[in-house]
Amino acid sequence: MKQHKKAALVGLIFVLIYFCYDIYHIIRISKGFSFEESLLPELVILFINQLLLIAPAVVLFIIKSFKKKYIFAVWLYPIILALGFINILVSNDPLAAGLPMVFLVFPACIILAILYFLFREKDKF
């Protein structure tokens, strides 16, 4: 397995851990409320967040080969995800946990997905 596919797999494992963690807290928060009142909006937000977090992994799985010169960049994706998840686990305040995700991790995932697409090796005809 190539290195960029390994990095995508590690990133997907972190995204799955984040998904399970969020589902657990969404269910805890929504106890006693109706489905449309509490659980549904939180699930919509969770799935939008997951799409943003999975984007670099999808790009890394789709591309066939990655430029050797920029292979270090593929490991930025799992590192950023891990740091964001550790921040969520250690922060006591929901605001302190959410702001770094919104202002650092989500934009980094979008930027990395674009960069990974640009750093792929082009097929030679």
Instruction: Give the model confidence (pLDDT) of 33-85 as tens digits.
Output: 877 888 888 899 999 999 999 999 999 999 988 888 888 899 999 999 999 99
Domain membership flag for residue 25: yes
- What is the domain extent for residue 67? 3-118
- Predicted pLDDT at 15: 96
Domain membership flag for residue 125: no
Domain membership flag for residue 8: yes
Domain membership flag for residue 23: yes
Report yes or no: 64 and 2 within 8 Å, Cβ to Cβ. no
Domain membership flag for residue 114: yes
Structural domain total, the chain: 1
| Overall average pLDDT of the 20-33 stretch | 88
Domain membership flag for residue 106: yes
Domain membership flag for residue 124: no
